[in-house]
A and B are shown apart, each in its own frame.
Chain A
Protein backbone atom coordinates (compact mmCIF):
# COMPACT_ATOMS: atom_id res chain seq x y z
CA UNK A 1 0.00 0.00 0.00
CA UNK A 2 2.79 2.38 0.89
CA UNK A 3 4.27 1.80 -2.56
CA UNK A 4 1.00 2.91 -4.19
CA UNK A 5 0.81 6.04 -2.03
CA UNK A 6 4.44 6.91 -2.75
CA UNK A 7 3.99 6.31 -6.48
CA UNK A 8 0.80 8.39 -6.57
CA UNK A 9 2.49 11.19 -4.59
CA UNK A 10 5.50 11.10 -6.92
CA UNK A 11 3.24 11.43 -9.95
CA UNK A 12 1.41 14.32 -8.29
CA UNK A 13 4.67 16.16 -7.65
CA UNK A 14 5.73 15.48 -11.24
CA UNK A 15 2.39 16.76 -12.52
CA UNK A 16 2.79 19.91 -10.36
CA UNK A 17 6.26 20.58 -11.76
CA UNK A 18 5.11 20.19 -15.36
CA UNK A 19 1.81 22.02 -14.82
CA UNK A 20 3.47 24.95 -13.09
CA UNK A 21 6.31 25.24 -15.57
CA UNK A 22 3.90 25.61 -18.50
CA UNK A 23 4.17 29.05 -20.02
CA UNK A 24 1.82 30.83 -22.34
CA UNK A 25 3.22 33.75 -24.28
CA UNK A 26 0.03 34.67 -26.14
CA UNK A 27 -0.33 36.64 -29.34
CA UNK A 28 1.58 39.69 -28.15
CA UNK A 29 4.92 37.93 -28.23
CA UNK A 30 4.36 35.12 -30.69
CA UNK A 31 2.75 36.92 -33.59
CA UNK A 32 4.82 37.77 -36.60
CA UNK A 33 4.90 41.37 -37.62
CA UNK A 34 1.98 42.48 -39.74
CA UNK A 35 -0.65 40.22 -38.17
CA UNK A 36 -4.05 41.74 -37.63
CA UNK A 37 -5.11 41.73 -33.97
CA UNK A 38 -8.78 41.43 -33.03
CA UNK A 39 -10.22 41.64 -29.51
CA UNK A 40 -13.57 40.16 -28.45
CA UNK A 41 -15.54 40.31 -25.22
CA UNK A 42 -16.16 36.92 -23.61
CA UNK A 43 -18.55 36.41 -20.69
CA UNK A 44 -18.56 33.40 -18.37
CA UNK A 45 -14.83 32.82 -17.83
CA UNK A 46 -14.07 32.63 -14.10
CA UNK A 47 -10.58 31.16 -13.72
CA UNK A 48 -7.30 30.64 -15.60
CA UNK A 49 -8.56 27.23 -16.71
CA UNK A 50 -11.43 28.83 -18.61
CA UNK A 51 -8.93 30.83 -20.66
CA UNK A 52 -7.32 27.66 -21.91
CA UNK A 53 -10.64 26.16 -22.96
CA UNK A 54 -11.58 29.04 -25.22
CA UNK A 55 -8.03 29.56 -26.54
CA UNK A 56 -7.77 25.92 -27.58
CA UNK A 57 -10.96 26.03 -29.63
CA UNK A 58 -10.22 29.40 -31.23
CA UNK A 59 -6.70 28.26 -32.20
CA UNK A 60 -8.29 25.43 -34.18
CA UNK A 61 -9.67 27.95 -36.69
CA UNK A 62 -7.30 27.83 -39.70
CA UNK A 63 -7.25 31.63 -40.11
CA UNK A 64 -6.17 32.13 -36.49
CA UNK A 65 -2.46 32.28 -35.85
CA UNK A 66 -2.70 32.64 -32.09
CA UNK A 67 -5.18 33.48 -29.35
CA UNK A 68 -4.93 34.63 -25.75
CA UNK A 69 -7.84 35.01 -23.34
CA UNK A 70 -7.95 36.93 -20.06
CA UNK A 71 -10.62 35.80 -17.61
CA UNK A 72 -10.24 38.87 -15.42
CA UNK A 73 -10.65 41.36 -18.28
CA UNK A 74 -13.23 39.11 -20.00
CA UNK A 75 -11.38 39.52 -23.29
CA UNK A 76 -10.06 37.31 -26.05
CA UNK A 77 -7.23 38.59 -28.23
CA UNK A 78 -6.85 36.89 -31.59
CA UNK A 79 -3.98 37.21 -34.08
CA UNK A 80 -5.11 36.61 -37.64
CA UNK A 81 -2.81 34.52 -39.82
CA UNK A 82 -1.23 36.87 -42.42
CA UNK A 83 -3.01 36.59 -45.76
CA UNK A 84 -6.04 34.82 -44.23
CA UNK A 85 -9.59 36.05 -44.07
CA UNK A 86 -10.97 35.40 -40.56
CA UNK A 87 -14.75 35.35 -40.25
CA UNK A 88 -15.82 36.82 -36.87
CA UNK A 89 -18.65 34.30 -36.73
CA UNK A 90 -16.12 31.45 -36.57
CA UNK A 91 -14.55 33.00 -33.47
CA UNK A 92 -17.93 33.64 -31.85
CA UNK A 93 -18.96 30.03 -32.53
CA UNK A 94 -15.76 28.72 -30.91
CA UNK A 95 -16.46 30.87 -27.83
CA UNK A 96 -19.96 29.37 -27.58
CA UNK A 97 -18.62 25.81 -27.93
CA UNK A 98 -16.27 26.55 -25.03
CA UNK A 99 -19.40 27.17 -22.91
CA UNK A 100 -19.04 30.95 -22.86
CA UNK A 101 -21.01 33.84 -24.31
CA UNK A 102 -19.42 36.20 -26.82
CA UNK A 103 -19.95 39.93 -26.39
CA UNK A 104 -19.05 42.52 -29.00
CA UNK A 105 -15.83 42.79 -30.96
CA UNK A 106 -14.02 45.73 -29.41
CA UNK A 107 -11.01 45.95 -31.74
Chain B
Protein backbone atom coordinates (compact mmCIF):
# COMPACT_ATOMS: atom_id res chain seq x y z
CA UNK B 1 0.00 0.00 0.00
CA UNK B 2 2.87 2.38 0.85
CA UNK B 3 4.43 1.67 -2.54
CA UNK B 4 1.14 2.39 -4.26
CA UNK B 5 0.85 5.70 -2.39
CA UNK B 6 4.42 6.56 -3.38
CA UNK B 7 3.61 5.83 -7.02
CA UNK B 8 0.45 7.98 -6.80
CA UNK B 9 2.52 10.79 -5.26
CA UNK B 10 5.12 10.63 -8.03
CA UNK B 11 2.39 10.60 -10.67
CA UNK B 12 0.72 13.57 -8.99
CA UNK B 13 4.01 15.49 -9.08
CA UNK B 14 4.30 14.62 -12.74
CA UNK B 15 0.86 16.10 -13.44
CA UNK B 16 2.09 19.60 -12.66
CA UNK B 17 5.01 19.11 -14.97
CA UNK B 18 5.17 20.61 -18.43
CA UNK B 19 6.85 18.84 -21.34
CA UNK B 20 8.80 15.71 -22.31
CA UNK B 21 11.55 14.28 -24.56
CA UNK B 22 11.86 11.18 -26.83
CA UNK B 23 13.79 7.91 -27.45
CA UNK B 24 13.17 4.10 -27.61
CA UNK B 25 10.57 2.34 -25.48
CA UNK B 26 12.24 -0.74 -23.98
CA UNK B 27 15.52 1.04 -23.11
CA UNK B 28 15.96 3.85 -20.58
CA UNK B 29 19.46 5.00 -21.61
CA UNK B 30 17.93 7.22 -24.32
CA UNK B 31 16.22 9.51 -21.82
CA UNK B 32 18.03 12.86 -22.07
CA UNK B 33 16.49 15.76 -20.16
CA UNK B 34 17.70 19.31 -20.75
CA UNK B 35 19.95 20.82 -18.11
CA UNK B 36 18.27 21.02 -14.70
CA UNK B 37 15.14 19.30 -16.00
CA UNK B 38 13.65 15.92 -15.06
CA UNK B 39 12.06 13.13 -17.05
CA UNK B 40 9.69 10.79 -15.27
CA UNK B 41 8.83 7.47 -16.87
CA UNK B 42 6.55 4.72 -15.61
CA UNK B 43 5.68 1.52 -17.41
CA UNK B 44 3.81 -1.71 -16.95
CA UNK B 45 5.62 -4.68 -18.47
CA UNK B 46 4.10 -8.12 -18.88
CA UNK B 47 6.16 -11.18 -19.65
CA UNK B 48 5.50 -14.88 -19.69
CA UNK B 49 7.55 -18.08 -19.54
CA UNK B 50 5.94 -21.11 -21.19
CA UNK B 51 6.47 -24.41 -23.04
CA UNK B 52 8.18 -26.25 -20.20
CA UNK B 53 10.59 -28.82 -21.71
CA UNK B 54 10.43 -30.78 -18.43
CA UNK B 55 7.34 -32.82 -17.45
CA UNK B 56 6.55 -30.45 -14.55
CA UNK B 57 4.26 -28.29 -16.69
CA UNK B 58 5.67 -25.04 -15.31
CA UNK B 59 4.47 -21.61 -16.34
CA UNK B 60 5.55 -18.18 -15.22
CA UNK B 61 3.80 -14.81 -15.50
CA UNK B 62 5.43 -11.58 -14.45
CA UNK B 63 4.26 -7.98 -14.22
CA UNK B 64 6.98 -5.37 -13.73
CA UNK B 65 6.36 -1.72 -12.89
CA UNK B 66 9.54 0.29 -13.48
CA UNK B 67 9.62 3.88 -12.26
CA UNK B 68 12.44 5.94 -13.76
CA UNK B 69 13.61 9.45 -12.91
CA UNK B 70 16.25 11.01 -15.19
CA UNK B 71 17.88 14.34 -14.32
CA UNK B 72 19.84 16.68 -16.58
CA UNK B 73 22.78 17.34 -14.26
CA UNK B 74 24.49 19.30 -17.04
CA UNK B 75 23.63 19.69 -20.70
CA UNK B 76 26.04 16.80 -21.39
CA UNK B 77 25.50 14.68 -18.26
CA UNK B 78 22.35 12.71 -17.41
CA UNK B 79 21.78 10.89 -14.13
CA UNK B 80 19.09 8.23 -13.91
CA UNK B 81 17.59 6.10 -11.16
CA UNK B 82 15.21 3.19 -11.71
CA UNK B 83 13.23 1.12 -9.24
CA UNK B 84 11.16 -1.81 -10.44
CA UNK B 85 8.33 -3.42 -8.51
CA UNK B 86 7.63 -6.98 -9.64
CA UNK B 87 4.82 -9.47 -9.31
CA UNK B 88 5.53 -13.06 -10.29
CA UNK B 89 3.15 -16.00 -10.52
CA UNK B 90 4.67 -19.47 -10.88
CA UNK B 91 2.63 -22.52 -11.70
CA UNK B 92 4.16 -25.98 -11.34
CA UNK B 93 2.37 -29.31 -11.43
CA UNK B 94 -0.90 -27.65 -10.53
CA UNK B 95 0.38 -25.66 -7.55
CA UNK B 96 0.69 -21.88 -7.72
CA UNK B 97 3.08 -19.54 -5.91
CA UNK B 98 2.98 -15.76 -6.01
CA UNK B 99 5.72 -13.25 -5.10
CA UNK B 100 5.61 -9.49 -5.04
CA UNK B 101 8.47 -7.18 -4.18
CA UNK B 102 11.13 -4.71 -5.22
CA UNK B 103 13.89 -5.47 -7.67
CA UNK B 104 17.42 -4.10 -7.22
CA UNK B 105 17.96 -0.34 -7.45
CA UNK B 106 19.49 0.74 -10.77
CA UNK B 107 21.62 3.88 -11.17
CA UNK B 108 22.93 5.14 -14.50
CA UNK B 109 25.13 8.02 -15.63
CA UNK B 110 25.39 9.15 -19.25
CA UNK B 111 27.96 11.53 -20.71
CA UNK B 112 27.39 13.14 -24.10
CA UNK B 113 30.77 12.51 -25.64
CA UNK B 114 29.86 13.83 -29.08
CA UNK B 115 26.82 15.52 -30.55
CA UNK B 116 26.40 17.28 -33.87
CA UNK B 117 23.19 19.18 -34.56
CA UNK B 118 22.81 20.44 -38.11
CA UNK B 119 19.92 21.57 -40.29
CA UNK B 120 19.85 18.13 -41.97
CA UNK B 121 20.63 15.71 -39.17
CA UNK B 122 21.54 15.16 -35.53
CA UNK B 123 24.09 12.61 -34.46
CA UNK B 124 25.21 11.81 -30.93
CA UNK B 125 27.41 9.35 -29.06
CA UNK B 126 27.11 8.90 -25.32
CA UNK B 127 28.88 6.32 -23.16
CA UNK B 128 26.92 5.12 -20.13
CA UNK B 129 27.86 3.50 -16.85
CA UNK B 130 25.26 1.84 -14.65
CA UNK B 131 25.37 0.24 -11.23
CA UNK B 132 22.79 -2.18 -9.84
CA UNK B 133 22.75 -2.39 -6.07
CA UNK B 134 21.60 -5.52 -4.22
CA UNK B 135 18.76 -3.70 -2.48
CA UNK B 136 15.82 -5.75 -3.74
CA UNK B 137 13.57 -8.10 -1.84
CA UNK B 138 14.75 -11.68 -1.33
CA UNK B 139 12.66 -13.11 -4.16
CA UNK B 140 13.98 -10.68 -6.76
CA UNK B 141 17.46 -9.42 -5.80
CA UNK B 142 20.55 -10.77 -7.55
CA UNK B 143 22.41 -10.34 -4.25
CA UNK B 144 25.38 -8.93 -6.14
CA UNK B 145 26.75 -5.53 -7.13
CA UNK B 146 26.48 -5.34 -10.91
CA UNK B 147 28.31 -2.94 -13.20
CA UNK B 148 27.04 -2.11 -16.68
CA UNK B 149 29.14 -0.04 -19.09
CA UNK B 150 27.38 0.80 -22.33
CA UNK B 151 27.24 3.00 -25.40
CA UNK B 152 24.29 4.97 -26.72
CA UNK B 153 24.28 6.27 -30.30
CA UNK B 154 21.47 8.37 -31.73
CA UNK B 155 20.75 9.66 -35.21
CA UNK B 156 17.91 11.91 -36.37
CA UNK B 157 17.01 13.26 -39.77
CA UNK B 158 13.76 15.11 -40.34
CA UNK B 159 10.95 12.95 -38.96
CA UNK B 160 13.14 9.83 -38.82
CA UNK B 161 14.90 8.74 -35.64
CA UNK B 162 17.08 5.82 -34.63
CA UNK B 163 18.78 4.89 -31.37
CA UNK B 164 21.33 2.15 -30.82
CA UNK B 165 22.09 1.02 -27.30
CA UNK B 166 24.69 -1.61 -26.44
CA UNK B 167 25.61 -2.65 -22.91
CA UNK B 168 27.60 -5.30 -21.09
CA UNK B 169 26.36 -6.12 -17.60
CA UNK B 170 29.09 -7.47 -15.38
CA UNK B 171 27.07 -9.28 -12.74
CA UNK B 172 28.81 -9.80 -9.41
CA UNK B 173 31.80 -7.63 -10.34
CA UNK B 174 32.66 -7.03 -6.69
CA UNK B 175 31.27 -10.04 -4.89
CA UNK B 176 29.56 -13.41 -5.26
CA UNK B 177 25.86 -13.92 -4.79
CA UNK B 178 23.97 -16.19 -2.44
CA UNK B 179 25.89 -19.41 -1.52
CA UNK B 180 28.86 -18.35 -3.65
CA UNK B 181 26.81 -18.28 -6.84
CA UNK B 182 28.08 -15.78 -9.39
CA UNK B 183 25.30 -14.75 -11.81
CA UNK B 184 26.22 -14.84 -15.50
CA UNK B 185 27.15 -11.65 -17.31
CA UNK B 186 24.72 -10.12 -19.82
CA UNK B 187 25.06 -8.52 -23.23
CA UNK B 188 22.24 -6.42 -24.64
CA UNK B 189 21.96 -4.65 -27.98
CA UNK B 190 18.86 -2.67 -28.90
CA UNK B 191 18.15 -0.79 -32.11
CA UNK B 192 15.07 1.47 -32.17
CA UNK B 193 13.68 3.07 -35.33
CA UNK B 194 10.86 5.63 -35.34
CA UNK B 195 9.12 8.01 -37.71
CA UNK B 196 7.18 11.03 -36.46
CA UNK B 197 3.84 12.01 -38.00
CA UNK B 198 2.41 15.34 -36.89
CA UNK B 199 -1.25 15.42 -35.98
CA UNK B 200 -3.50 18.29 -36.99
CA UNK B 201 -0.80 20.34 -38.68
CA UNK B 202 0.54 21.54 -35.33
CA UNK B 203 4.06 20.81 -34.15
CA UNK B 204 2.75 20.20 -30.61
CA UNK B 205 1.33 16.71 -31.21
CA UNK B 206 2.69 13.72 -33.07
CA UNK B 207 2.40 9.97 -33.33
CA UNK B 208 5.35 7.75 -34.14
CA UNK B 209 5.36 4.09 -35.14
CA UNK B 210 8.37 2.41 -33.54
CA UNK B 211 10.24 -0.75 -34.45
CA UNK B 212 12.82 -2.19 -32.07
CA UNK B 213 15.27 -5.05 -32.57
CA UNK B 214 16.66 -6.40 -29.31
CA UNK B 215 19.32 -9.03 -28.76
CA UNK B 216 20.18 -10.29 -25.31
CA UNK B 217 22.61 -12.93 -24.13
CA UNK B 218 22.96 -14.14 -20.54
CA UNK B 219 25.94 -16.34 -19.72
CA UNK B 220 25.40 -19.35 -17.41
CA UNK B 221 25.77 -18.72 -13.69
CA UNK B 222 29.04 -19.77 -12.17
CA UNK B 223 29.63 -21.78 -9.01
CA UNK B 224 33.22 -22.47 -7.97
CA UNK B 225 34.42 -22.14 -11.55
CA UNK B 226 31.74 -24.40 -13.06
CA UNK B 227 28.69 -23.45 -15.11
CA UNK B 228 25.41 -24.02 -13.30
CA UNK B 229 23.03 -26.15 -15.34
CA UNK B 230 19.71 -24.69 -16.53
CA UNK B 231 21.08 -21.13 -16.55
CA UNK B 232 22.02 -18.87 -19.43
CA UNK B 233 20.05 -17.97 -22.54
CA UNK B 234 20.07 -15.94 -25.74
CA UNK B 235 17.09 -14.00 -27.05
CA UNK B 236 16.20 -11.91 -30.06
CA UNK B 237 13.03 -9.82 -30.10
CA UNK B 238 11.38 -7.89 -32.91
CA UNK B 239 9.14 -5.28 -31.35
CA UNK B 240 6.59 -3.09 -33.11
CA UNK B 241 5.13 -0.24 -31.09
CA UNK B 242 4.00 3.36 -31.11
CA UNK B 243 4.51 6.63 -29.27
CA UNK B 244 1.99 9.42 -28.94
CA UNK B 245 3.61 12.75 -28.06
CA UNK B 246 1.78 15.82 -26.82
CA UNK B 247 4.25 18.54 -25.77
CA UNK B 248 6.02 17.15 -22.69
CA UNK B 249 3.85 14.06 -22.45
CA UNK B 250 4.47 10.75 -24.19
CA UNK B 251 2.26 7.67 -24.16
CA UNK B 252 4.12 4.60 -25.37
CA UNK B 253 3.34 0.96 -26.12
CA UNK B 254 5.45 -1.91 -27.43
CA UNK B 255 4.91 -5.59 -28.21
CA UNK B 256 8.12 -7.65 -27.94
CA UNK B 257 7.83 -10.74 -30.10
CA UNK B 258 10.48 -13.41 -29.55
CA UNK B 259 11.87 -14.13 -33.02
CA UNK B 260 14.61 -16.47 -31.81
CA UNK B 261 15.64 -17.88 -28.45
CA UNK B 262 18.00 -20.45 -27.05
CA UNK B 263 17.69 -21.51 -23.41
CA UNK B 264 20.17 -23.78 -21.67
CA UNK B 265 18.77 -26.92 -20.07
CA UNK B 266 15.15 -27.09 -18.99
CA UNK B 267 14.39 -23.37 -18.76
CA UNK B 268 11.07 -22.00 -19.88
CA UNK B 269 10.76 -20.32 -23.26
CA UNK B 270 9.93 -16.63 -23.34
CA UNK B 271 6.52 -15.62 -24.60
CA UNK B 272 5.45 -12.35 -26.18
CA UNK B 273 6.04 -9.36 -23.91
CA UNK B 274 3.96 -6.22 -23.65
CA UNK B 275 4.99 -2.75 -22.51
CA UNK B 276 2.72 0.23 -21.92
CA UNK B 277 3.79 3.42 -20.23
CA UNK B 278 4.07 7.18 -20.09
CA UNK B 279 6.77 9.83 -19.85
CA UNK B 280 6.89 13.47 -18.77
CA UNK B 281 9.59 16.08 -18.73
CA UNK B 282 9.33 18.79 -16.15
Contacts and interface: CB of A to CB of B under 8 A. Distances in A.
Contact of B122 (A7, A44, A52): A44
Contacts of B204: 24, 48, 51
B33 interface: yes
B44 A5 contact: yes
A98 B115 CA distance: 13
B281 interface: yes
A44 to B, nearest CB: 3
Interface string A13-54: 011101110101000000000000000010110111111111
B48 interface: no
Contacts of A11: 7-8, 11
B20 interface: yes
B87 A4 contact: yes
Interface of B: 4, 7-8, 11, 14-15, 18-22, 32-37, 42, 44, 63, 65, 72, 75-76, 87, 89, 98, 100, 112, 115, 117-119, 122, 156, 161, 196, 198, 203-206, 208, 245-251, 276-278, 280-281
Interface string A54-90: 1111000000000000111110000000000000000
Interface of A: 1, 4-5, 7-9, 11-12, 14-16, 18-20, 22, 24, 41, 43-44, 46-57, 70-74, 96-101, 103
A52 B115 contact: no
Contacts of B156: 44, 46
Contacts of A103: 119
B19 A53 contact: yes
A99 to B, nearest CB: 5
A54 B203 CA distance: 14
Given A54-B34, A96-B75, A99-B75, A49 B248 contact: yes
A12 B205 contact: no
Contacts of A57: 34-37
B63 A98 contact: no
B217 to A, nearest CB: 31
B161 A15 contact: no
A90 B268 CA distance: 58
Closest 3 CB pairs of A and B: A52-B19, A19-B249, A44-B117
